[in-house]
Amino acid sequence: MAHEHFRHVDTWVFDLDNTLYHPRVRLFDQIDVKMTDFVMRVTGADRAESDRLRRDYWLTYGTTLAGLMAHHGIDPVPYLVEVHDIDFSVLEPDPDLREAILALKGRRIVYTNGSAPYARKVLEARGLEGLFEAVYGVEDAGYRPKPQAEAFETVFGLAGLDPSRAAMFEDDLRNLKVPHALGMRTVLVGPLAGPEGESPDPEAQAHVHHRTDDLAGFLRGL
């Protein structure tokens, strides 16, 4: 049973987007539009090319922000404010998920490639506020995104967690490689697929200890 593999865990680390809410609400679609608008303004490219660049930067660097910083030297602070200025009303409270997270013994942490203020708004809209000891955003990692090893090392250092006694919940397969290598128990929330929806290679699959389409149900089983 899955719970046998989590008896040692005393720190629970959760990604935010498409992990603590279901992708079907399409919250990130709003952010994608805002990011494309930003790319258009910075590069002068048309929408189609800017949308391609947005996605290419995400695939290459882990976030569109990292690509914009690398290639265009943008200031990340106003960017993060602008792209996260969205409508959160599409999110609904999830009392089942709240109860399941609250039942976990130990520390509970959110770590997202978005900003921490944005993450707190999502948590509030989902009825998950007050459950987590800390909320870390990309700014806490010096704007280095997951899946970069330096990003995880920075945030985990701030959190003071022992990876060998921690679990990581993520929807992006790429972001489980480093946690797995550090000795964390890894859980993929969503389909076993690459960033473009393609079938992952065997090496990528090896970074996943468990997979679930039902986070609340999985946590209840622990």
pLDDT digits (tens, 9 = 90+) for 34-49: 999 999 999 999 999 9
Which sequence spans correspond to the domains of the chain?
Answer: 2-21+91-220, 27-83
CATH class entry, domain 2-21+91-220: alpha beta
Local structure of 117: helix, strand or coil: helix
Residue 166 has pLDDT above 90, yes or no: yes
Residue 83 near residue 20 (C-beta atoms within 8 A): no
57-71 per-position pLDDT tens digit: 999 999 999 999 999
Look up residue 195 and give its amino acid: P
Q: What is the CATH number of domain 27-83?
A: 1.10.150.450
The model's pTM: 0.95
Locate tokens 């007050």: which residue?
130
Q: Cα 77–38–126 angle (5° rounding)?
A: 65
Backbone φ and ψ of 124, nearest 5°: -65, -45
Say if strands 185-189 and 166-170 run parallel, antiparallel, or are unpaired: parallel
Locate tokens 């990528």: which residue?
204
